[in-house]
Amino acid sequence: MKKSFKLFLATAFLVTEFFVIALPMLTTSARADGAIQAITHAGFGGGTDVTTRMMLLRARRVLKQDMQLVNKKGGGGAVSMDYMMSLPADGQHTLTWTTGHAVSMALGKTKVKLSDMQPLARGTDDPQLFVVNCKADIKDAKKFISAQKSKSLKYGTTHVGGIDDVSAIAFTKKGGLKDPTIVAYKGVAPIKTNLIKGDIDVGVLNLGEALTEINEGTLCVSIVLANNRMAKIGDSPTATELGIPVVLSTVRGFVTKKGAPAERVKELEAGMMKAMSHNYYKNFLTEIGLDETSVVGADEWGAQMEVMLAEMTAQLKALGYTN
Amino acid sequence: MNNVQNKKRANKSLPFFFKDEFKVSFIIIFISTILLITTFTFDIVPPILNRGIQPATFPKGLLILIIGLTLIIYYLSIKKPWKVEKKLPKTFFLTLLSFLIFVIVSKTLDFFLAISLLSIFVSYYWGERRILYLILVSVIFPIIVFIFFETILGLRFPPGIITNIYYQV
Amino acid sequence: MENLLLMMAPLFSSKLLLVLFFGTLFGLILGVLPGLGPTTGGALILPFTMTLDPLSAIVLLTSIYCAGTYGGAITAILINTPGTPAAAATCLDGYPLAQKGEAGRALGMATVSSTVGGIFSVIILVFFAPLLAKLAYEFGQPEYFALAIFGLTMLASIGDGSPIKNLIAGAFGILISTIGKDFMTSIDRFTYGINELSEGIGFIPVVVGLFAISEMLTQSTLLNQVFKRVALKAVKLPSLNDYKLTWKTILRSSGIGSFIGVLPAEGGTVASLIGYSEAKRFSKKPEDFGKGSIEGIAGAEAANNAATGGAMVPTLALGIPGSATTAVILTGLIIHGVRPGPDLFREQPEFLYGIFGAMLIANVLFFIFGFFGAKIFARITLVPNKILWPMIFAVSVCGTYSLSQSIIDVWIMLLFGVIGFFMRRYGFSVVPVIIGLILGELVEGTLRQSLVIFDGNWLMFLTRPIALTFFILSLIALAFPLLRSKKRKKIL
C-alpha cells in the first residue's frame, strides 16, 4: 500500500514536468511566434544541408524569428515532402526542394504535387559537368563526342536514378552516341580518385565538387550542361554549343505549403532574398564555384521547378524506371 | 521445489524442440527464409543500367550462407549441447514491457513523457524506492537532457503534448 | 624549425587557446554521449563557426574531432556502450575490466594510448601529408574491395563467440547494410514500402542498440547479484607494468590507425577494429582478449585516435575527406574560403601548421581532462544500476533521435537492443555484426563497381598489385590461428 502510494506520488511529479518545461515558455514572449521549421531531406554536411544552413544564418535575423533545421530523411525527399504536408499552411516552415525531390515525385514515391507547394526562392543552381582526367585526350569536347560514336565510355555518377545518370544518358541519347556505362558511387570523392587513377573515363560532377582538382590541373571540364559557359571555366563549351541541347543542373530552393497567407509568403520570400544577398551567402556561393545568379525569386524558381519535374519525368520514363 | 526446477531445466529431459539450440536455429532459419522470399520481389533493373551483379544476388547469397551455417551449428549442437541458460527473471520482461510502453507513448502522446514513464518504471521495478531518486531519474534528468539537445545542439523534437507546450504552437 | 614555431602559434594566442579548450571539452561531451559524436556535433555547430575567423573555426572543429574520438572510449569502458562507433572495439575489453572493478586502469590506458595514437598521427601528418596523400589516388574500387575482404577476415578471430557463430553474425551485419535503396541501381531492398528505410539503416541506431540497450536488458537479469566494487580500486590508474606490456601494441595500432585513416574510407571505426584484432594476433595472451585485456584497450584506442591525424591527410592535402567527421571539417574549410589541396601547403603554411599545432594541443588537453578525470569518471561504475540505466536510456534515445531526427531510428535502436540481448545470451558476439555492417556496403559496392570497371572480368583483380597484396594478407590472416595452434601443441 505504502509502495504504491509512493509510486503515485512520483507519477504526480511527472505532471509537474509539464509546467517546468512550459513555464519559461509561457513567461517569455521571445518565442511567441515559435520557430520556423526549415525542413531538409539531406544528411549532415551535404550540399543541401549546408545550403539550407547558410540561408538560415542570416534569414533568422532578417525575419526576426528563430529558425530550426528539421531533418526528414528518406524516400529521396518523399518523407520530407509528406512531413511538410502534415503541417498547417501557415508559412511557419520551409522545405529545401531539390532535383532529388523532382526525381521522387516523378517516380511516384509521394502523392504530393507541385501545386501543393508555394515556391519562395532559389538558393543554388549548379550546372552538371562532364569532368575528365586532364591527361586524357577526351578533355577536348569534340574528341569527347567523337570517341563515343564507336565506344561506350564509363561515367562515374553519384547514385543512380537521379540527375547524374540522367545527364549522362540524356546527353548520349540526344547526341546519337553509344549508351554510357554507368558506374554509380556513394559520394563524389571516389569518382575523383578513380578518374585520376584512370579507372573511369568521365565524372558527372558539379563545379564546386571538383574545384580543387580543376585548379590544380589534374581534372578538366570537357562539357558544361548549362545555357551559358561558366565564368570560372570559360574555356569549356556547353553541350548546346556543340549541337546537343541538354541543359541540366542540380538546383536547390525553398518552398512552403500552398495556402499560406499571401503577405506571409511575400515576407518569407523577401527575407530569404535578403538573407541570400548577404556576404556570408555570396562567399559561400563563390566557394562552391557559383555566383549570385543562383539566387532568384519565387516566380522564376517556380517555373524552373515545373521544367525540372517535366524533364525528370520524361527522362526516367525513357530509362524504363516508370511506365 | 528447487530440485523440480533443476530437472525441468536439464536439457536432456526435454524434447528436442524445446531446447535452446533448436529454438535459436529455427528462428534464424525461419526469418532468413522469409527474407529470402522477399528478395524475389525486388524490382527489375532497367536494361540500360543492368550491368554485372543484380541487386538481389548479394542478399540472396548472404541469406543462403546464414541458413547453411545455422544448420551446421545445429548439427554441432547435437553432439555438444550448449550450456543451459538460466530462466529469464521477471525484471527482464518488465524492462521489455517498458520498451513497448515507450514506443506506444512516444508515438501517441509525447516523446519526453515516454522517456519519463520508462525511467520511473524501470527504476522502480529495478528496486529504487526512494522518492527523490525517482524524481531525479524521471523528471530532472530528462529535462536536463532536453535542454541540452534543444538549446545547445539546436535540435527539434517530435511534437507531443509536453513538447508542444515548449514549442508553443 | 620555422614550421615548429608556426605549430606552437595557438599556444600564444589566448583566443585560440580558449577555442581549443572549449572545443576539446565539447568534443569530450559529444564523444561520451551515446549516439552523438564528433560528426553530428561538428555538423551542428558548423553554422556557428561562421562567426569565427577561419583558423579558429577549423581549430574548433578539429579539437572536437580529436576529443570526441577519445571520449567514446569512456562510455565504452564504463557502461559497455560505445559513445562513438569507433569505440565499439574498446567495449570488448574495457567493460570486462570495469566489471572487475578496474575502471580506472582501463580508462587510464585508453587515455594514454589515445593520446599517443593521436600525437603519432599528427607527426605523420606534419611530415608526410603531401607524400601520403598520393596513396589515396592509388586506392581504386578493386583495392577497397580487397581491403574490405581483409577486414572481414577479422570475423574469424574477434569477439567471444565460436567462429561459425561469428560468421553468422557477420553475415547478418552485411545483410543489414543491404537494406534500403541500392545505390548502384536505385532499387529498394527490404524496405517493405517504408520510405524511411530507403536511406538504409543508420550505423548509430544499430551500435547503440546492440551495445547500450542490450546491456540494459542484460542488467535487468542480474539485479539479484550484488557486485562489490571497492571505490579505491576502481579509481586506480594503470601501473608501470601495464605500459611495459602495451607499448608495442600502442605503436603498432598507431601505425595501423594512421594508415587506415589516410584511406578515404570509414576512418576510426575500421581502424580500431583492425588495431584490436592485430593486437590480439600479436599478443602473448590472446586468450585474455574479450575478458578484460589491457592490451585490447590499447590496441583499439591508439588506432582510432591515430586515424584522426590520418584522415586529415587526404582532407587537407587533396580535399578528399578521410572519414565522416573530416567531411564536416572539409565543409567547414570550404565555407570559410579555404580550399584544401597542394596549394594550401604552398601558399598558407601558417594556417596549416596552426591546424597541426591545434591538433597536438587538443590531444594534450584531452589527455589532461581524461587522465585526471578518469578517477572521477570511474565512479560512474559505483552508481547503482537502478539509477544509472534509465539515465543512459534517456541519453541514448535522444542521441539516436538527433542523428536524423527520426523516431524510426529510435525504434530500430530498441529492436537491435532486443536482438543484441538474445544474440549475447546464446553465444553470438555482437561485434561481428558491427564489422559486417561497416564493411558490408564496402564489399558489395566496390565488388560491383569493380566488375563494371573490369567489364565483368574477375581475373582483372589479379592485375592490381595492391589488391593482390590484401588478398594474400587475408589468406595469411585466416591461416594464422591454425598455424599458431599447431605451434603451441608442439611446445606443450
Residues of B in contact with C387 (CB under 8 A): 123, 128, 133, 136-137
Question: In this structure, are B74 and B95 located in the same domain?
Answer: no
Per-residue confidence at C6, pLDDT binned at 50, 70, 90? low
Inter-chain residue contact A34 with B169, CB threshold 8 Å:
yes
Q: Which residue has the cell 545568379?
A: A293
Report how many domains make up chain C. Answer: 1
Inter-chain residue contact A74 with C197, CB threshold 8 Å:
yes
Who has greater pLDDT, C251 or B3?
Answer: C251
- Does residue B84 sit within a domain? no
Residues of A in contact with C140 (CB under 8 A): 193-194, 197, 199
Per-residue confidence at A220, pLDDT binned at 50, 70, 90? very high
Per-residue confidence at C239, pLDDT binned at 50, 70, 90? confident
Closest residue in B to C449 (Cα–Cα): B52
Which residues touch C381 (CB under 8 Å, ≥6 apart)?
C78, C98, C101, C103, C229, C234
Inter-chain residue contact A179 with B48, CB threshold 8 Å:
yes
Q: What's the confidence (pLDDT) of residue A208?
A: 82
* Neighbour-count burial of B143, counting CB atoms closer than 10 A to its CB (0-12 exposed, 13-18 middle, 19+ buried): middle
Q: Which of the other chains make 3 or more beta carbon contacts under 8 angstroms with chain C?
A: A, B
| Residues A277-288, mean pLDDT to the nearest whole number | 86
Q: Would strands A36-40 and A93-98 be described as parallel, antiparallel, or unpaired?
A: parallel
- Candidates A73, A186, A322, partner chain C, best to mutate (most C CBs within 10 A): A73
Quick check: C382 pLDDT over 90? no
Inter-chain residue contact A79 with C321, CB threshold 8 Å:
no
Inter-chain residue contact C185 with B106, CB threshold 8 Å:
no
Q: What is the pLDDT of residues B64-119, one digit of tens each?
A: 999 999 999 898 888 877 777 778 888 899 999 999 999 999 888 888 889 999 99
The percentage of chain A sitting over the pLDDT mark of 70, rounded to a whole number, equals 88
Inter-chain residue contact A181 with B47, CB threshold 8 Å:
no
Inter-chain residue contact C386 with B118, CB threshold 8 Å:
no
Q: What's the confidence (pLDDT) of residue C400?
A: 86
Contact call for residues C300 and C290 (beta carbons, < 8 A): no
Residues of C in contact with B95 (CB under 8 A): 216-217, 220
Inter-chain residue contact B51 with C452, CB threshold 8 Å:
yes
> Sign of the CA dihedral C332, C338, C341, C342?
negative
Q: In residues, how long is chain B?
A: 169
- Does residue A190 sit within a domain? yes
Question: In this structure, are A167 and A229 located in the same domain?
Answer: yes
Q: What's the confidence (pLDDT) of residue A30?
A: 36
Closest residue in B to A14 (Cα–Cα): B139
- Does residue B154 sit within a domain? yes
Contact call for residues C305 and C69 (beta carbons, < 8 A): yes
Residues of A in contact with C400 (CB under 8 A): none
Q: What's the confidence (pLDDT) of residue C467?
A: 92
Arithmetic mean of pLDDT over chain A: 84
Q: What's the confidence (pLDDT) of residue C226?
A: 59
| Residues C9-28, mean pLDDT to the nearest whole number | 83
Per-residue confidence at A47, pLDDT binned at 50, 70, 90? confident
Q: What's the confidence (pLDDT) of residue C415?
A: 95
Q: What's the confidence (pLDDT) of residue C5?
A: 67
B154 touches chain C (CB under 8 A): yes
Report how many domains make up chain A. Answer: 2
Residues of C in contact with A193 (CB under 8 A): 136-137, 139-140, 264, 320
Quick check: C474 pLDDT over 60? yes
Per-residue confidence at B3, pLDDT binned at 50, 70, 90? very low
Q: What is the pLDDT of residues C21-42, one digit of tens each?
A: 989 988 988 888 887 788 878 8
* CATH classification at residue A169: 3.40.190.10
Residues of B in contact with C184 (CB under 8 A): 55
Q: What is the pLDDT of residues A147-161, one digit of tens each?
A: 999 999 999 998 887
Q: What's the confidence (pLDDT) of residue B30?
A: 94
Cell of C422: 538474445
Question: In this structure, are A113 and A258 located in the same domain?
Answer: yes
- Candidates B111, B116, B126, B139, partner chain C, best to mutate (most C CBs within 10 A): B126
From residue A70, give the alpha-carbon distance in Å to each of A53, A78, B148, C53, C491. 11, 14, 17, 27, 63
Q: How close A234 gets to chain B, by Cα (Å)?
A: 33
Contact call for residues A103 and A174 (beta carbons, < 8 A): no
Residues of B in contact with A6 (CB under 8 A): 129, 131, 134
Closest CB from B89, B94, B103 relative to C414: B103
* Neighbour-count burial of B18, counting CB atoms closer than 10 A to its CB (0-12 exposed, 13-18 middle, 19+ buried): exposed
pTM of the model: 0.82
Per-residue confidence at A202, pLDDT binned at 50, 70, 90? very high
Per-residue confidence at B61, pLDDT binned at 50, 70, 90? very high
Quick check: B132 pLDDT over 60? yes
Who has greater pLDDT, C56 or C233?
Answer: C56
Task: For residues A158 and A188, give the distance between their C-alpha atoms in angstroms, rounded to a whole number.
Answer: 6
- Does residue B149 sit within a domain? yes
Q: What is the pLDDT of residues C408-442, one digit of tens each?
A: 889 999 999 999 999 988 888 888 888 888 888 88
Inter-chain residue contact C319 with A162, CB threshold 8 Å:
no
The percentage of chain C sitting over the pLDDT mark of 90, rounded to a whole number, equals 23
C43 touches chain B (CB under 8 A): no
Q: What's the confidence (pLDDT) of residue C492?
A: 45
- Does residue A244 sit within a domain? no
Inter-chain residue contact C46 with A53, CB threshold 8 Å:
yes
Q: What's the confidence (pLDDT) of residue C491?
A: 47
Residues of B in contact with A32 (CB under 8 A): 168
From A202, A233, A264, the end of a domain falls on A233
- Enclosing domain of residue A172: 129-233
| Residues A157-180, mean pLDDT to the nearest whole number | 88
Q: What is the pLDDT of residues C388-416, one digit of tens each?
A: 889 989 988 988 888 777 888 899 999 99
Quick check: A3 pLDDT over 70? no
- Does residue B117 sit within a domain? yes
Report how many domains make up chain B. Answer: 2
- Enclosing domain of residue C155: 2-491
Arithmetic mean of pLDDT over chain C: 84
Within 13 Å and on the Cβ side, how many CA atoms surround A2? Answer: 3
Inter-chain residue contact A6 with B165, CB threshold 8 Å:
no
Task: For residues C139 and A196, give the distance between their C-alpha atoms in angstroms, rounded to a whole number.
Answer: 11
Q: Which of the other chains make 3 or more beta carbon contacts under 8 angstroms with chain B?
A: A, C
- Enclosing domain of residue B114: 90-167
Question: In this structure, are B42 and B8 located in the same domain?
Answer: yes
From B25, B52, B79, the end of a domain falls on B79
Question: In this structure, are B75 and B94 located in the same domain?
Answer: no
From B30, B52, B79, the end of a domain falls on B79
Question: In this structure, are A118 and A259 located in the same domain?
Answer: yes
Q: What's the confidence (pLDDT) of residue C248?
A: 92
C343 touches chain A (CB under 8 A): yes
Who has greater pLDDT, B20 or B52?
Answer: B20
Q: What's the confidence (pLDDT) of residue B4?
A: 42
- Does residue A112 sit within a domain? yes
Inter-chain residue contact A25 with B168, CB threshold 8 Å:
yes
| Residues C236-251, mean pLDDT to the nearest whole number | 87
Cell of C479: 591461416
Q: What's the confidence (pLDDT) of residue C417?
A: 94
B 104-123 near C (Cβ less than 8 A): 106-107, 111, 115, 118-120, 122-123
Q: What's the confidence (pLDDT) of residue A26?
A: 38
Inter-chain residue contact C449 with A183, CB threshold 8 Å:
yes
Contact call for residues C75 and C91 (beta carbons, < 8 A): no
Window from A185-194, B42-51, B113-122 with minimum mean pLDDT: B42-51
Question: In this structure, are A117 and A265 located in the same domain?
Answer: yes
Closest CB from B47, B142, B168 relative to A32: B168
Q: How close C285 gets to chain B, by Cα (Å)?
A: 25
Q: What's the confidence (pLDDT) of residue B128?
A: 84
Cell of C476: 595469411
- Candidates A4, A6, A17, A109, partner chain B, best to mutate (most B CBs within 10 A): A17
What is the Cα gyration radius of chain C? Answer: 22
Q: What is the pLDDT of residues C463-473, one digit of tens each?
A: 999 899 989 98
Question: In this structure, are A53 and A185 located in the same domain?
Answer: no
Element (H, E) at A36: strand A36-40
Chains A, B: CB pairs < 8 Å? 82
Task: For residues C278 and C248, give the distance between their C-alpha atoms in angstroms, rounded to a whole number.
Answer: 11
Order across the sheet with A219-224: list the strands. Answer: A181-185, A154-158, A202-205, A129-133, A219-224
From A178, A203, A233, the end of a domain falls on A233
- Does residue B85 sit within a domain? no
Task: For residues C338 and C334, give the distance between their C-alpha atoms in angstroms, rounded to a whole number.
Answer: 5
The percentage of chain A sitting over the pLDDT mark of 90, rounded to a whole number, equals 38
Question: In this structure, are A103 and A136 located in the same domain?
Answer: no
Question: In this structure, are B108 and B149 located in the same domain?
Answer: yes
Task: For residues B139 and A221, give the distance between their C-alpha atoms in angstroms, rounded to a whole number.
Answer: 59
Residues of A in contact with C201 (CB under 8 A): none
Closest residue in B to C182 (Cα–Cα): B55
Q: What is the pLDDT of residues A59-110, one digit of tens each?
A: 888 888 888 888 888 777 888 999 999 888 888 899 999 988 998 898 888 8
Q: What is the pLDDT of residues C78-134, one digit of tens each?
A: 888 888 888 988 998 999 988 888 888 899 999 999 999 999 999 988 888 877 777
Inter-chain residue contact B99 with C390, CB threshold 8 Å:
no
Closest CB from C220, C390, C451 relative to B137: C390
Quick check: C182 pLDDT over 60? yes
Cell of C178: 543491404
Q: What is the pLDDT of residues A241-277, one digit of tens each?
A: 999 988 888 899 999 999 999 999 999 999 999 999 9
Count of beta carbons in the 10 Å neighbourhood of residue B110? 23
- Does residue B158 sit within a domain? yes
| Residues C185-209, mean pLDDT to the nearest whole number | 84
Residues of A in contact with C327 (CB under 8 A): 45
B159 touches chain C (CB under 8 A): no
C405 touches chain B (CB under 8 A): yes
Residue A234 DSSP label: T
From B23, B51, B79, the end of a domain falls on B79
Inter-chain residue contact B131 with A31, CB threshold 8 Å:
no
